[in-house]
Structure 1
Amino acid sequence: MRIEDPLIVGAGPAGCAAAIRLGQAGAAPLLLDRDEEVGDPLCGGFLSWRTAEQLASLGLSPAALGAHRVTRLRLFDGPREAALDLPHAAWGLSRHALDTAMRARALASGAKLEFDAVRAVDGLAVEGRAASYRPQSLFLATGKHDVRGETRPREAKDTALGLRLRLPPTPERLRLLGGAIELHLFPGGYVGIVLQEGGSANLCLAMRKSALAKAGGSPEALFARLAQANPALAARLGDDWRQVRCDTIGAVPYGFIARDTSPGLFRLGDQAAVIPSLAGEGISIALASGAMAAEHWTHGGPAAAPAYQRAFASSARLPVTLASAAWHAAETRLGARAALALARIAPSLVAGFADRARIAAPSLAPR
């Protein structure tokens, strides 16, 4: 049995943000992750302007990491299209690049990083494959993946699924997607596309399970069907998309917010709040929760966990509510057409909505 305190389970953006702040405050947190090699998770390839501000407060810059600058939003509903300027510049950056940089920053701030596959959590007791851990403070930052003993409720009958294609850079994709993020809407879901570092295109499809079932449960058949019905999407997919691996994630509890916890247990990132990916605010949620949890722990120790969780739930409520409403509208034909009409008639309203859907991150000066 190992006594490590504080212990952070998960070395993604949420866990690393907490580790950076804790290390800067003089603590020596242990970051525990199952993967020694940094992967490229499906979610989080778009960084909003709020996310960029939070990264700057942690000593990181999307531009310095090679991120693709994004200033426009384009909406598609079949052959219909609308475009508008974003309220502020955003960025396209792979999770591989972001997570690699954040791990390095956490280590430079005084955190330790070790690797173990966590099998279960019981209170503050953590059972890994290689060792058992008994911290006084546990920061749970496992992203969309639940750990046995700390699962989130999933009440929706038609659950949300995610698919991702990482398309290679081509001159045509650069011409079509340069400087923009696109949302291609269809009944039951949407496809989001943005260029990332090196010119590759990150294409994420969020949908209801029933939408995949209508395609016989085949992601390839679903993409082919959507391309046939949506010429603009077909142009972005090109001729090489079938050679690219399709990553999947299932049963995503969009709309979930953890409103309370027990002393010592700090829930971060998607374990604290799951905002629909349409908003592009998932990484901001992760960073804000990590920084806020670290601040509460620094001033109140393990006993501050319930106060942190309530405070973060309050901060996440508005953006999650707005993003959920937009997602439910966009997955209907009527809602998609209304969104495009509004973008054409009153683009400032859509831009204002996008600005309001950002989480009010804690005001933290770089240390």
Structure 2
Amino acid sequence: MKTLIIGPSWIGDMLMSQSLYRHLKQQNPAREIDVLAPNWCRPVLARMPEINQAIEMPVGHGSLQWGLRKQIGKQLAHAGYEQAFVLPNSLKSALIPWFADIPTRTGWRGEMRYGLLNDLRVLNKDAFPLMVQRYVALSQPAQAPALTLDDILYPSLTTDSTQLANALAQFTLTTDNAIAFCPGAEFGPAKRWPDYHYAALAKKLIVDGLQVWLFGSEKDKETCQHIKNQLTEQEQRRCHNLAGSTSLPQAIDLIAQCQAAVSNDSGLMHIAAAVGTPLVALYGPTSPGFTPPLSQHAEVIRLIDGFHKIRKGDADQGYHQSMIDISPEMTYTALQKWLAA
């Protein structure tokens, strides 16, 4: 059975959507799954064994481009898809399967999608509080109760030993006693743990004989360097700023080799969870009640309740007070559980 997935636009959401693919393959191992996704998500899809192919989505996030979506749909009409799953909730995301005339088009009701989707589900947010539950529910009968986290197949990315060896050589790294720091986060600084807290934690870990690897995109490079600059010259020899230098596959392989990871709520947090690296996840305005790290080896630290739609906090550098209040000592103590194990 050939299946087309209209995938999310963000790496963290794409990671969580793997649970849907795993459940679909569990139900029918012969199912062939293709995912239409932005180019930046394709390296993650390449590490999901459930995926047959990742098809580049050339339409920018938030852009309608009716004609281009129609063209893509007509091209896919000859691929033999029997079912499509539309994971975003927008009207425009449902257009391509409709143009492709895929017989069964499944998704949540969302934004005026009557007719575009013919297997239309009505979302009860109280019954399906987690994003991963909403994804996986699309693989179940329409009236089925939500699966609990204990029953959901978590995301699980593969790693590549050859690419790992090349990355270690390229960046002159050794894998002994490495801790991953992921200090970046999209949508403003309110989601970020302060750089000075990361630096204080790095000092504690380096005293313990560990080394620190800093991960992130090109736009996180300056923040990571600021963390490193707060260390002494001797400490800096045990701290490596990899932000903006690694490819996404390299980051996946390197994070998988770390003894543990410390991360804000971000795509890299979900990657650390999906490769099984023990994780301390730091939350402030965003809620782990919606997008928690999906791992049996993760501990969440959060000092406030509820969801706060804020991109910039009132403190210096835009940090949110709830993130400032998570002390390096709290995070260090949480890490000891995983390091001792």
Q: TM-score, normalised by structure 1?
A: 0.33
Structure scoring higher RCO (CA < 8 A, sep ≥ 6) equals 1
Name whichever structure is richer in strand by fraction.
1
